[in-house]
Amino acid sequence: MRYLPMALLAGAVALASSTAFAQPSADTLGAKVSKDGNTTGGTAGSAAAGGTSASTIGLGANSTGKAGPSSAVGGAGSAAAVDGRAKSNTKIRENPQGLRAQSKAAARDGGTWSRSATNTSVRHDGDLRSRTKAMAHEPGGKSAISTSRVR
């Protein structure tokens, strides 16, 4: 039952990315669930304009058990362009305070572009934060921008 919000999050992003060829669109969403010292959450976003699309997702979890706290973080990104260029990358870093995932995706076809970026961090003290920003633009029109944040 605790994985239901993540399944809904992934399904909503997939749906949003498949319906965006008429005009620039950007959609983001996030969810966070905490129970008995365990926290799971993340954000995701998708943007599309013309023949370009970009999507990113970041998920994190923190658990406190008898052996002490444990944390996990993950992220991914994907970009596509019909006639242009697309790139995506994900970096995961660990430091003494916790874990961090950064995912970026961008696609460009002339003046038409789509971008998405997600940053997710899980601290060893139980703090989980995630933020996603998605943007899309076609020449001569207004850019579509959406941001979601979970704290």
Structural domain harbouring 38? 4-150
Q: pTM value?
A: 0.84
Phi and psi, residue 86, nearest 5° = -140, 145
Sign of the torsion angle spanned by Cα atoms 8, 17, 78, 129: negative
The whole-angstrom separation of Cα 60 and Cα 99 is 9
Q: Are 137 and 112 in contact (CB under 8 A)?
A: yes
Question: How far is CA 37 from its chain centroid?
Answer: 24
pLDDT of residue 21: 47
| Lowest mean pLDDT across 66-70, 83-87, 119-123 | 66-70
Q: Which residue spans within the chain are E strands per DSSP?
A: 25-35, 38-49, 52-65, 68-81, 85-95, 98-109, 112-123, 128-137, 144-150
pLDDT of residue 68: 77
The whole-angstrom separation of Cα 51 and Cα 21 is 7
Which two three-digit tokens encode residue 146?
Answer: 């959406």
| Number of domains into which the chain is organized | 1
Average pLDDT over residues 95-121: 96
Average pLDDT over residues 6-30: 64
